[in-house]
Amino acid sequence: MTAWVALLRGVNVNGVTVRSAELADLFRELGFESVRTVLASGNVAFATDVAASARTTLKARIETALRERFGYDAWILLPTLAELAAVVEAFPFDETDAARQPYAIFCVDDATRDEIVEAAASFDEDADPVASGDGVVYWNPRVGTTVDTPLGKLLGRARFKPSTTARNLRTLRKIIG
């Protein structure tokens, strides 16, 4: 069995409502085991006998089921639980700094990650501290500034909606359990 985490993009915002209980029911109906939703921001931990080598097929299956059940253009990122734990442990900034918000921005591929990191190289490092990670961009903006920083505005562009999703490190730690 492989432990997976589905990170849904764009749920419970902009009129797209997906209730955690209904989301968990869908994953159980898909035949997954140990299904657990975390917070109301589209995080589902589950287990299946599908190996990491079949990630693309598993991702497409889940996205199709989400679209059919909830009627929205669903996009997910699908790390294994072990990959998610490695992302959290590799966070390069001081996650205990109460003036900052520790984020991992999950990217669908390395090209997306590299594009974001390259764009961020021209941003103010104090306002938008960014570092490249394995499948993610680490980001540590000041509290209350995420949508106003250059990186926040970049990530808000339509081009990145199907290819990224951000999670606070505290949320990721809850998912890991």
Cα-based distances in Å from 11 to 25, 31, 33, 40: 16, 22, 22, 9
pLDDT digits (tens, 9 = 90+) for 123-146: 988 888 999 999 999 999 999 888
Claim to verify: residue 87 and residue 48 sit in the same structural domain: no
Claim to verify: residue 59 and residue 121 sit in the same structural domain: no
Claim to verify: residue 68 and residue 130 sit in the same structural domain: no
Claim to verify: residue 73 and residue 109 sit in the same structural domain: no
Claim to verify: residue 89 and residue 64 sit in the same structural domain: no
Claim to verify: residue 53 and residue 135 sit in the same structural domain: no
pLDDT digits (tens, 9 = 90+) for 53-63: 999 999 999 99
Claim to verify: residue 94 and residue 168 sit in the same structural domain: yes
Q: Which of 50, 78, 106 is the last residue of a domain?
A: 78
Bridge partners of residue 76, in order along the sequence: 8
pTM for the whole thing? Answer: 0.90
Claim to verify: residue 13 and residue 46 sit in the same structural domain: yes
Claim to verify: residue 21 and residue 102 sit in the same structural domain: no
Measured between alpha carbons, how far is 47 from 91 in angstroms, rounded to an integer?
25
Claim to verify: residue 172 and residue 96 sit in the same structural domain: yes
pLDDT tens track, the chain, 177 positions: 999 999 988 665 555 678 889 999 999 999 999 999 998 778 999 999 998 899 999 999 999 999 999 888 888 999 999 999 999 999 999 999 999 999 999 999 999 999 999 999 999 888 889 999 999 999 999 998 888 899 999 998 988 888 899 999 999 999 998
Domain that holds residue 14: 2-78
Please count the structural domains in the chain: 2
Claim to verify: residue 97 and residue 159 sit in the same structural domain: yes
Q: Which of 78, 102, 126 is the last residue of a domain?
A: 78
**Can you give the CATH number for the domain in which 104 is found?**
3.30.70.1260
Q: Which of 48, 78, 108 is the last residue of a domain?
A: 78
Q: Is 152 exposed, middle or buried, given 0-12, 13-18 or 19+ CB atoms closer than 10 A?
A: middle
**Can you give the CATH number for the domain in which 52 is found?**
3.30.70.1280
Claim to verify: residue 150 and residue 69 sit in the same structural domain: no
Compute φ and ψ for 25, nearest 5 degrees: -60, -45
